[in-house]
């Protein structure tokens, strides 16, 4: 089973700042990595699929990069509504595992 490790566990930033979230896989997942955002009491929302493709209706301030085992989600300039928990997920090998999450909180 592929293990995804996200860092940091918590990221404290202010609106307008740039956020960089990392996801490392225990083995290569090619480009088959996605990112989800989850707010309290809500279902997750797909932000990025296959490393760098934004899902529909996702603002351009969200971008993804990486390949193989190291991936990054970047939010260029944080808006108040961006603060949430973010999960990476691989769809390279079953079971399609998720990372443990990074909580992005307001500083």
In this chain, which of 31, 46, 54, 72 binds other proteins, going by CB under 8 A? Answer: 46
Q: Rounded to the nearest whole angstrom, what is the least distance from the CB of residue 9 to other proteins in the complex?
A: 11
Residue with smaller CB distance to other proteins, 16 or 95: 95
Stretch that binds other proteins, among 11-19, 23-31, 49-57, 69-77 (CB under 8 A): 49-57
Residue 49 binds other proteins (CB under 8 A): yes
- Identify any residues that bridge with 90 across adjacent strands, giving them in sequence order: 33
Question: What is the DSSP code string of 43-101?
Answer: --EEEEETTTEEPTT--TTEEEEEETTEEEEEESS--GGG-SEEEEEE-SSSS--B---
Q: Among 23, 25, 28, 107, which Cα is nearest to 73's?
A: 23
List binders of other proteins among 1-30 (CB under 8 A).
Answer: none
Q: Which residues bind other proteins (CB under 8 A)?
A: 32, 34, 36, 38, 43-46, 49-50, 55-56, 87, 89, 91, 94-101
């Amino acid at each position: 089973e592929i293990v995804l490790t996200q860092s940091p566990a918590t990221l404290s930033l202010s609106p307008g700042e740039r956020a960089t979230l990392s996801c490392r896989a225990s083995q290569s997942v090619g480009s088959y990595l996605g990112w989800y955002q989850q707010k309290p009491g809500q279902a997750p929302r797909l932000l990025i699929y296959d490393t760098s493709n934004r899902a529909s209706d996702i603002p351009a301030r969200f971008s993804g990069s990486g390949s193989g085992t190291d991936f990054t989600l970047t939010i260029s300039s944080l808006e108040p509504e961006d603060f949430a928990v973010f999960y990476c997920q691989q769809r390279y090998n079953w079971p399609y595992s998720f990372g443990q999450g990074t909580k992005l909180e307001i500083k």
